[in-house]
A and B are shown apart, each in its own frame.
Chain A
Amino acid sequence: GLGLSQEHHGEQKSDVCDVTLLEAARRDKDPVLREFLRLLALCHTVMVEDRGDQLVYQAASPDEEALVWAARNLGYVFLARTQDSITIRELGRTRTYEVLAMLDFNSDRKRMSVLVRDPQGTIRLYTKGADTVILERLRSRGPTETLTERALDRFAEETLRTLCVASREVSEAEFRAWSRRHREAAVLLQDRAQELDRLYEEMEQNLQLLGATAIEDKLQDGVPETIQLLKLGNIKVWVLTGDKQETAMNIGYACRLLTDDMEILEEKEVSSCPTPPSSHSEILQAYWESNNNLSGPGDAPCSRRLSQQRPETLCHKRAVIISGDFLDKILHTGEVLKEKKGWPWRWLCCGRAEASQDQGGLVEKAFVDLATSCQAVICCRVTPKQKALMVQLVKKHKKAVTLAIGDGANDVNMIKTADIGVGISGLEGLQAVQCSDYALAQFSFLQRLLLVHGRWNYLRICKFLRYFFYKTFAGLLAQVWFAFHSGFTAQPLYEGWFLALYNIFYTAYPVLSVGLLEQDVSAKKSLEFPELYVVGQQDELFNYRVFGVTLLHGVGTSLISFYITLWAFEDHVGTKVVGDYESFSVTVALSALLSVLVEIVLDTQYWTVLSFLMVTASLLLFCLFSFLTQTVDAYRIAPAIFRFPDASWNALTDPFVLLVVLLSLVVNTLPSLTVHAVRAILGRATTQQKIHLKARRAPEAPVELRSHVPRGSFRRSSYAFSHQEGYAGLITRGDSLRARATQAS
């Protein structure tokens, strides 16, 4: 009964509470627990709307709503709020508290309090806030406090967001004195905020700790895992959000984009030239300088700077959090320069008055360089347009493929701008989905989209292209070689029908089945080894080198098929064949076709029934069409169209021709078979190599993790997701209530 409650923030409105906790609350024995729950029901800025049979809570922050819901589920139902009263039902008894003052939240105070007079007339102050601020305002430190702190640590380990709650009784006299000063302060014309803060500070002293709450950010299933995998797959994850910085950061932690061992650079650290130099004050400037002067090796600025300043921090363990306003500055610098308004950026102009024309671009570049050197980038408070500009910025300065994923209408710009746009069909409507290239139901499906299907498709398209080039070269370059022996008279080597059908019917189907179904590793393995994704980022499977090799291979195949046949035919005879043009043509064609088909058989790693059928079908189609176009009847009907009556039959029943075909086939297959064999034996295939690396690296990982654990406190306690201050003001003034009343009437 220590009053430690753990809520699961989410949509579930049913009772999800711990049974023991529920029973304890029902029994109503523990005064601390009673106060704890009462606090949850009283100390918040949630608005309630009574829609007939059910209460609808509207909160500025989901955390608050969650806490109110938790209290409700445990029997303390928040019923109604007026300008100066709150009505709650405590275990069936309805009580109305008079609200004397609301001590609002702001990001400096990191807490909010409410001063209420209960029906008995006692005045109490209820406070909830970040653990640091609450713990230092406690009356005493007893075992309860120690226990709570331990609980807080445990919550933090589970990446829950914690709050401490505390209360104290205020004597009537004390309240009167304070209230008078509060009224005076509230009408001050100057420094009102500071004065109020001071007063609040005075009131929130000598608190008694009631307990702690912990709230889980209910992300979609598998978000942290997905981000983890994407990062392992060498994909940089940037978060562009319209939320406030605290929220963004919390989400960053929740989805493990940020980790506790990361060094987090905030806006002012990135750009704080005018302020006293902090440890990272000039990082961006350093980047900018190095770009501007082109001095030093490319990788220097990052490592040099940081090794000077903080030797133990590695480059890749940094994250940047910036806001939209800052982004605006970066994005608009270029335009401002063009308008000849001078150099607006003080922090960058230190020591550099003369601004060259392309400095705007350099600033952008410097920013992108800095951001890409970080593990995570979070941009908060950005507008939809800025999201798109950000994507554009990366596209402009980095040779990277960008993917934007989002679910809301405000992500549409970004989705449209990015190379790949992914929409999540969620609660926020369908605009994102309608504008996207891919629509997903959940964020976590992104891992399958990228690491499994994305990779497979890359592999497939590469193999498809490679093989398509190969087969065309291999099959048709023989025509060119024939020109050398026919006096360059453009006499076609192949029969017209073979030429026409070669690409469509004889060789296309196996490569189609490869293009549709090829897999090098299974889906499970792909997810297990996200490093395999890097292959695509580095264009390893299809680039100029691969194209060159393919070209050479194709040329080789065509040369071999052609010249083996030529040497065998030149001035030699078979049993029937006497080196005539038709037999020659059929022989070269069959050699090339079989070589090409054997090549795809060797190249296919993932055999399905379809692949087998396709290869078979190609051969059968070759036979069928050869037969049909070379039948005697067809020749009788149109001798000019079906010019090769029985040519294949006559040629291919000659053992001599078959020997020639076999020879070219073997010679053609030998090199690629050897390469395949050597790869298989030595495991030189890149994928295997990577899996090895991973397997070797795997044991080290836990050690590394453990080493991070002791480093300082990593408790994340903050007051909610916070909204800006002012809601309490609205409530106490009654504006919102009145507005609602008029609306209702």
Chain B
Amino acid sequence: QIDYTGTEPSSPCNKCLNVSWDSTPPCTCTINFTLEHSFESNVFMYYGLSNFYQNHRRYVKSRDDSQLNGDNSSLLNPSKECEPYRTNEDKPIAPCGAIANSMFNDTLELYRIDNDTRTPIPLIKKGIAWWTDKNVKFRNPTGDGNNLTALFQGTTKPVNWPKPVYMLDSEPDNNGFINEDFIVWMRTAALPTFRKLYRLIERKNSFQPTLQAGKYSLDIAYNYPVHSFDGRKRMILSTISWMGGKNPFLGIAYITVGSICFFLGVVLLFIHHKYGNRNTSADIPN
């Protein structure tokens, strides 16, 4: 888990602290870190934000599900919920609304440093969204699927975005509304501190861990300003077991509750032995 917000002056990302949404060229910084243990199975790469109220009522409502679902009329005439991110210069915004407008747009790249040579780690950007979202909830406007530019004709990009929605990715099945980064962002978090899946790192073969212990560096294209609301940004690498990621709370809670149950069981057994026989005869049968 690496915090790259850069509030401390010593942080390499400190210089980027006050970037704006669309600074070009993007402010970049590099953070070096060391993995103590190697990651054996598939690794999930998350970005985490803090103090970001994605559950604010007006924020949550500020989207048009019909538009995102590929409805052509909604595309050109987005829902009023999207105000004030509904139109820009008399053109409808696609995708409209505050959620889309505030999409996380840092770019993270991971390198393994081995004897001063930087080997890029392949990051898989597909398969990070729910199947339902990718195939049902989010769909590009109907029409010629190969020419997204034409489909989004007549709309404009969200104010804070550097490029329009049909240029999010080069692959056609990951572009437009069905771009998975976009989908992940649009699945709003329940709590102000949250993490979202960014990339997958797949294990290539069974002889070699996914990420060996050693030195790594994280290259960040720092576009997303959080300093203004005292937010924090993090990058998290984690593996996942059958019951999800590392979760100390759940473990502690289970052990505690289990102990309490055991203790209560013993106490009740004791009470039962001491006082229980007294009124077995007086049980009220129905």
Q: Please list the residues of chain A having a beta carbon within 8 angstroms of any beta carbon in chain B.
A: 482, 485-487, 489-491, 519-522, 525, 564, 566-585, 605-606, 632, 635-636, 639-640, 643, 645-646, 649-650, 654-656, 659-660, 663, 666-667, 670, 674, 677-678, 681-683, 687-688, 691-692, 695
Contacts and interface: CB of A to CB of B under 8 A. Distances in A.
B233 to A, nearest CB: 13
B195 A578 contact: yes
Contact of A639 (B66, B243, B246, B272): B66
Nearest to B284: A521
B273 to A, nearest CB: 9
B137 A645 contact: yes
Interface in B252-286: 253-254, 257, 260-261, 264, 268, 271-272, 275-276, 278-279, 282-286
A569 B191 contact: yes
30 contacts: A485-B55, A489-B57, A491-B57, A522-B285, A564-B253, A568-B247, A568-B249, A569-B190, A570-B193, A571-B193, A572-B246, A573-B46, A573-B238, A575-B243, A578-B189, A578-B196, A579-B189, A580-B189, A580-B194, A581-B55, A582-B187, A639-B65, A646-B136, A663-B257, A666-B257, A682-B271, A682-B275, A687-B284, A691-B284, A692-B279
B53 interface: yes
B192 interface: yes
Contacts of B132: 632, 645-646, 649-650
A691 B284 CA distance: 9
Given A575-B243, A580-B190, A639-B66, A489 B58 contact: yes
B41 interface: no
A482 B56 CA distance: 11
B243 to A, nearest CB: 5
B244 interface: yes
Nearest to B81: A640
B49 to A, nearest CB: 10
B150 interface: no
A656 B244 contact: yes
Nearest to A580: B187
Interface in B95-109: none
A655 B244 contact: yes
B213 interface: no
A571 B48 CA distance: 8
The interface size bin for chain B is 35 or more
B191 A688 contact: no
Nearest to A630: B132
B62 to A, nearest CB: 12
B141 to A, nearest CB: 14
Contact of B249 (A521, A572, A579, A683): A572
A681 B271 contact: yes
B275 A666 contact: no
Contacts of B148: none
Closest 5 CB pairs of A and B: A584-B190, A574-B244, A656-B244, A639-B65, A489-B57
Contacts, number: 177
B130 interface: yes
Contacts of B58: 489
B240 interface: yes
B99 to A, nearest CB: 11
B284 A491 contact: no
B279 A487 contact: no
Q: Which residue among B46, B187, B244, B283 has the maximum number of chain A CB atoms within 10 Å of its CB? A: B244
B194 A578 contact: yes
Given A581-B189, A667-B257, 6 more contacts: A578-B194, A578-B196, A606-B286, A639-B137, A681-B276, A691-B284
B11 to A, nearest CB: 21
B53 A487 contact: yes
Quick one: which of B238, B242, B249, B275 has the most chain A CB within 10 A? B249
Contacts of A574: 243-245
Contact of A688 (B56, B57, B196, B279): B279
B155 interface: no
A571 B57 CA distance: 20
A670 B197 contact: no
Contacts of A678: 268, 271
A571 B233 CA distance: 12
Contacts of B244: 572-575, 577, 654-656
B54 interface: yes
Contact of B272 (A486, A583, A681, A692): A681
A39 B221 CA distance: 126
Contacts of B188: 580-581
A573 B43 CA distance: 13
Nearest to B139: A636
Contacts of B69: 635-636, 639
Given A566-B191, A640-B65, A645-B132, A573 B60 contact: no
A128 B264 CA distance: 78
Contact of B243 (A491, A567, A632, A655): A655
Nearest to A582: B187
A579 B130 CA distance: 13
A567 B190 contact: no
Contacts of B194: 570-571, 578-580
A646 B130 contact: yes
A650 B130 CA distance: 8
Nearest to B271: A681
A522 B286 contact: yes
Contacts of A692: 279, 282
Contacts of A677: 268
A665 to B, nearest CB: 10
A564 B250 CA distance: 9
A583 B190 CA distance: 8
Contacts of A585: 190
A678 B264 CA distance: 10
A670 to B, nearest CB: 7
A573 B193 contact: no
A570 B286 contact: no
Contacts of B55: 482, 485-487, 489, 491, 581
A147 B14 CA distance: 122
Most buried by B among A520, A584, A687: A584
Contact of B56 (A487, A645, A674): A487
Contacts of A674: 264, 268
A402 B191 CA distance: 56
Contacts of B242: 575, 655
Interface in B224-245: 238, 240, 242-245
Interface in B18-72: 44, 46, 48, 53-58, 60, 65-66, 69
A670 B54 contact: no
A678 B196 CA distance: 46
Contacts of B136: 632, 635-636, 645-646
Contacts of B257: 663, 666-667, 670
A670 B261 contact: yes
B254 A663 contact: yes
A567 B195 CA distance: 14
A646 B137 CA distance: 10
Contact of B240 (A567, A570, A575): A575
B284 A520 contact: yes
Contact of A683 (B191, B268, B278): B278
B56 A581 contact: no
Contacts of B240: 573, 575
B275 A681 contact: yes
Given A606-B286, A666-B257, A681-B271, A579 B247 contact: no
A491 B253 CA distance: 28
Given A487-B56, A522-B285, A681-B275, A579 B195 contact: yes
A678 B44 CA distance: 48
Nearest to A584: B190
Contacts of A571: 48, 191, 193-195
A682 B264 CA distance: 15
Contacts of B79: 640
A650 B243 CA distance: 14
A683 B276 CA distance: 8
